[in-house]
Structure 1
Amino acid sequence: MQDKANEVVSNSNNKLGGFTITAIVMAAIGFLLNPFCILSIMGTIFSGIGIAHSSNNKDKTWAIIMLSLSVVETLFWVGFMVNTMAAL
């Protein structure tokens, strides 16, 4: 029999959830390219779901960061579109 003292146990409690990873991707892409604020709004939705489904502090922290970033991006792009339409 193998000795259990030498086994390496992976700690899966420190992983990010799927919704949080999706929110990170949506916020990152939405920061550069955001047609009609769709990506920022989707990032906000996935961040909210990520907060609700978070299983550890790291996951919840990243979801909250991405929620705030997505909201700021949405406000920025809405302001950008309003100013562009006003200039026409």
Structure 2
Amino acid sequence: MQDKQNEVVASNSSKKLSGFTITSIVMASVGLLINPLGILSLLGIVFSGIGIAKSNNTKDKTWAIIMLAVNIMETVIWAAVFVSAMAAL
């Protein structure tokens, strides 16, 4: 009976997101509002890549891939804003 309880606890703890994926989610969220020179988006891309590489379950990998796409889109959008601002000068 004790083995079953340990097994349930072990399987529930593996459903958590890794620290790299959570950091990527934070970088994407903050990067939508404030993104000086695209640094947060670039860091989010790096942390997403590490999150994908070190993921242990499908939930973690799915979130890391979604955040990778979001951070890439943010980088492209902020680059377009920067280029258009420089062109207006």
After TM superposition, the score normalised by the length of structure 2 is 0.89
Count of residue pairs brought into register by the alignment:
86
Task: Flag the structure with higher helix content.
Answer: 2
Give SS of 1:14's match: coil
Alignment partner of 1:14 is 2:15: yes
Compare CA radii of gyration and give the structure with the larger one.
Answer: 1
Alignment partner of 1:36 is 2:37: yes
Give 2:64's aligned residue: 63
Quick one: distance in 1 between partners of 2:2 and 2:74?
50
Quick one: distance in 1 between partners of 2:23 and 2:2?
37
Quote the offset at 1:4 in angstroms.
4.0
Alpha-carbon displacement from aligned partner over 1:28-67 (angstroms, at most 9, x marks no partner): 0001100000000000000000000000000000000000
One-letter code of the match for 2:14? Answer: N
Quick one: distance in 2 between partners of 1:25 and 1:54?
17
Give 1:78's aligned residue: 79
Q: Report percent identity of matched pairs.
A: 58
Quick one: distance in 2 between partners of 1:44 and 1:31?
14
Which consecutive aligned stretches of 4+ in structure 1 deviate over 4 angstroms post-superposition?
none
Quote the offset at 1:20 in angstroms.
0.2
Quick one: distance in 1 between partners of 2:59 and 2:85?
39
Unaligned regions of 5+ residues in structure 2, if any? none
Alpha-carbon displacement from aligned partner over 1:60-81 (angstroms, at most 9, x marks no partner): 0000000000000000000000
